[in-house]
Structure 1
């Protein structure tokens, strides 16, 4: 009986560690042809204004919440002003299905939140095709019991859908676009908040 209880405690502990892992497990990716995706490196320079915006949006405290972030700028609506996509990693913003992200518009040196995303994994791909004047976004979805696949997010006239897992799976054999968040996410990469 004692040996059985010991094994049960070990199993419960392992399950607890798995459920509370702030770094999403890299899932097996379904076959997808990404040969026509051009990849950009994420920015490496801290952005204090950007940090203030996402700290407020997710109620985070600098230096205490173990957050790292990746970001890139790209013009999604062809107005010649790049939007900023920021991907957050850490226990307060991640779960088994992925992590959190924001799409921000910059005006007069200040950021405003255009869209907020959950269940985000890398890569994040911007397609050339547009919906309501904004480029479509492709995100890989897996984990948390979700069927793995690449899902397409289309702009609805005001913002993008927040949950990629309930959006349509990309049907094309070949995904084309620009990969803006492609980093190998590990505990020692990204910008420390």
Structure 2
């Protein structure tokens, strides 16, 4: 279910086109939520892919697209991710930290390393209760 899906200011780039290019599928299935992750005033897209090509027993592929105004640019792709997906109040290297659910671990904190978010969330630290309470829910079950 999509939660943090606020409308974009003025111009909204074609997210479907960007996701299609990233997945090499003509009509990929996905859920999306929006949040300004890098503080530039544009809402970036948090995309959770759906379907047997992208999901397994541990979760689904998760992508973050930066809104550049005219188009979305793929910034990050992660594996084994499930909702809930939240944006933390904290940030690392100029981007908001993300809290995602993964496998049997639960909610983990994913930090931006300057180029991307981690590929495998199951290797990241468990998100503390205070990090979870202060976060903005973007995608939920």
Q: What TM bracket, shorter-length normalisation?
A: 0.7 to 0.9
CA RMSD in angstroms comes to 2.3
Deviation for aligned residue 1:74: 0.7
Whether the aligned pair in 1 keeps the contact of 2:56 and 2:80 (CA below 8 Å) is yes
Q: Which runs of 5+ in 2 are unaligned?
A: 7-11
- Tell me the distance in 1 between the aligned counterparts of 2:91 and 2:130: 19
Q: Which runs of 5+ in 1 are unaligned?
A: 1-38, 185-193
Q: Structure 1 residues 119, 125: closer, same or farther in 2, change over 3 A?
A: same
Whether the aligned pair in 2 keeps the contact of 1:49 and 1:111 (CA below 8 Å) is yes
Higher alpha-carbon Rg? 1
TM-score, scaled relative to structure 2: 0.83
Instruction: Tell which has more relative contact order, 1 or 2 (C-alpha 8 A, sep 6+).
Output: 1
Indicate the SS of the match to 1:156.
coil
TM-score, scaled relative to structure 1: 0.63
1:73 equivalent in structure 2: 34
Higher helix share: 1
- Tell me the distance in 2 between the aligned counterparts of 1:77 and 1:174: 18
The one of 97, 106, 124 equivalent to 1:149 is 106
The one of 179, 185, 192 equivalent to 2:137 is 179
